[in-house]
Structure 1
Amino acid sequence: MSWSSFNHIEEISMKKVVVLGAGGKMGYRCSRNLKGSPYEVSHVEISEAGQARLRELDIEFRPADQVLPEADVVILAIPDNAIHKATHALEPLFKKGAILIALDAAAPFAGELPDRQDLTIFVAHPCHPPIFNDETGLEAKRDYFGGLAAKQNIVCALMRGPEEHYALAEDVSRRMYAPVMRCHRATVDHMAILEPVLSETICATCLTVIREATDEAVRRGVSKEVAHDFILGHLNVELAILFDQLPGVRMSDAANRAVELAKAEIFIPDWKKVFEPEAIAQSIREITRPNS
């Protein structure tokens, strides 16, 4: 069943959705976006701070044992390093055939979710609004995370469970991350490559170095305003060239030579080993390890 064929109000209005951690960082966004949806949505939040945030949205919260036994879909808006403890404690409450939606691939990849074969495991993660977009409104332009005003794409994976559950889980995911353009289907293994490896191990690290290098330019006498204007402008055009936004345009020979020399100086030759399965598994073990 495709998402478009599933998207009928009379069909989805019968489905019950529970947001676990409904007032947390991601839970708040999901709760806000699902407010007014055709689903029957319940919210579970145990922290006082999270409960206060839900009150700001005029959303009531209920105990887990009152809502989970009837939930068709359970959104796990819980930190990666707390998912194992929370889901195993709540395991007896999950309805047979329920769909658990994880907001990140780390915990499912690491085997942190309950091993009940009657539970469907689905993963849905946002791509966040793209750098190159057609947004015009100020609110959308400044919605860097997405899920508020700016359009974004999402990636989903059905890790375990019947194929017919995919359409329902995708529909819930589209609504909680709205406004959504494309929904890409992937495997959990591929999602683990995308995050943490591509987005954090590589991208966040390189961008952190760029920020540190910008600060170093300022320390050496370049004004902060000049340094920031210069690097942010160059990031824009260089990303446009490297990600095929300017067909036929390439970096200059001098720039390419500078990159060639710098890579040998800055990166170790086998840096791509971070994509190897054991390296990915180790990174995810660190992410999902409970705080001591």
Structure 2
Amino acid sequence: MRNVALIGAGGKMGCRITDHLKDHPAYALRYVECSERGVANLAARGVVPTPMEEAVPGADAVILAVPDKLLGKVSHQVAPLMKSGALMITLDPAAAHAGELPEREDISIFVTHPCHPSVFDYEEDAEARADFFGGVKARMPIVCALLRGPEEHYALGEAMARDFFAPVTRSHRITVEQMAMLEPAMAETAGIALIMALREALEEVVRRGVPRAAAEDFLYGHIKVPLGIAFERVDFPFSDGAKLIAMYGRERIFKPDWKRIFEPEDVKAQVRAIVEGQIKPKE
């Protein structure tokens, strides 16, 4: 059994990991949680928290399930308590790519993140179809990166990630820099912005008098079809009229240089905004 300290065990991600690992025969888990709500979440699972000073020193791996804004601070509190040769695991690339993690050379740092269930995968089970996040009933891939440490620590981190994000279909090994391009840049900076624009478009046509039920049915269907065409999951193309009017939309909605969000300095600015909790005004 590997000794594992889970920091933030009663939080949103912490509870997901707790649910997966608390009865897993491969791990002896100690749970670190300081918030009243988090402690209550653990109590509901029959779990009692352990002070950080007791949980961390004997741990082979320490999982930091804390918000991005706190990750840098917490990691610097945890690192001095870790034994030499231990593995620190974070669940998001922002703090790692922003240079917020400790520089202690005798501990390894592994970064992982779920891809979440694909819109193109079909789950037979109704509960799995309702699992939008993944890791409860729905299958999903994950991405993993070793920021620092020996190769065997990549293998250990990936094995643990497969266990606490289960059920996992496949794992992709990438770099922390590449993971930051995926999130926030691709999935959040671009992806969520575009998705929220679709929600705003829905609300706008409803405001202008279209019945909500009709607008929702129309939009949800017209999300699925273009996804299938654009990502080559179907064997028919966009109509000429659709391609024409899509260009009309691009010219009015997108800035010509929008792909600059993937430039290295821009990705760095994005992760800094996440760990600092604010977007700095443009100079």
Normalising by structure 2, what TM-score? 0.96
Aligned to 1:118, what secondary structure does the other structure show? coil
Q: Is 1:269 matched up with 2:250?
A: no
Cα deviation digits, residues 66-119 of structure 1 (max 9, x gap):
121111111110111101111212222111111111100000111111110111
- Aligned partner of residue 70 in structure 1, secondary structure: coil
Question: What is the number of residues matched between the two proteins?
Answer: 277
Q: Which amino acid aligns with 1:268?
A: K
CA distance in 2 between counterparts of 1:262 and 1:254 reads 12
* Residue matched to 1:3: none
SS of corresponding position for 2:120? coil
Structure 2 residue identity aligned to 1:263: R
1:140-181 Cα distance to aligned partner (Å, 9 max, x none): 111000111100110000111001111111111011111100
The one of 30, 39, 62 equivalent to 2:50 is 62
- Return the match for 1:95 from 68, 71, 83: 83
User: 2:141 corresponds to which residue?
Assistant: 153
1:261 positional shift: 1.6
Q: Secondary structure at the match of 2:216?
A: helix
Tell me the equivalent position of 2:14: 27
Where in structure 1 do 4 or more consecutive aligned residues deviate above 6 Å? Answer: none
Q: 1: distance between equivalents of 2:22 and 2:126?
A: 23
- Across the aligned residues of Structure 1 and Structure 2, the Cα RMSD in angstroms comes to 1.1
Q: Which runs of 5+ in 2 are unaligned?
A: 279-283
In structure 2, what is the Cα distance between the partners aligned to 1:244 and 1:16? 45
- 1:251 is matched with 238
- Of 119, 124, 132, the residue aligned with 2:120 is 132
Counterpart-to-counterpart distance in 2, 1:238 and 1:33? 36
Q: Which residue is 1:115 aligned to?
A: 103
Cα deviation digits, residues 220-246 of structure 1 (max 9, x gap) = 111000000110011111111111211
Alignment of 1:275-290 (within 5 A): 275-289=262-276
C-alpha distance in 2, partners of 1:233/1:148? 27
State percent identity of aligned pairs. Answer: 47
- Give the secondary-structure state (helix, strand or coil) at the position aligned to 2:151: coil
Question: Is the Cα–Cα contact under 8 Å of residues 82 and 290 in structure 1 kept in the other structure?
Answer: no
Distance in 1, matches of 2:13 and 2:196, equals: 23
Please state how far the C-alpha of 1:249 moved relative to its aligned partner: 1.5
1:85 to 63, 73, 97: 73
**2-structure distance, mates of 1:186, 1:277:** 16
1:290 deviates by 5.8
- Alignment correspondent of 1:190: 178
| Contiguous gaps of at least 5 residues in structure 1 | 1-12
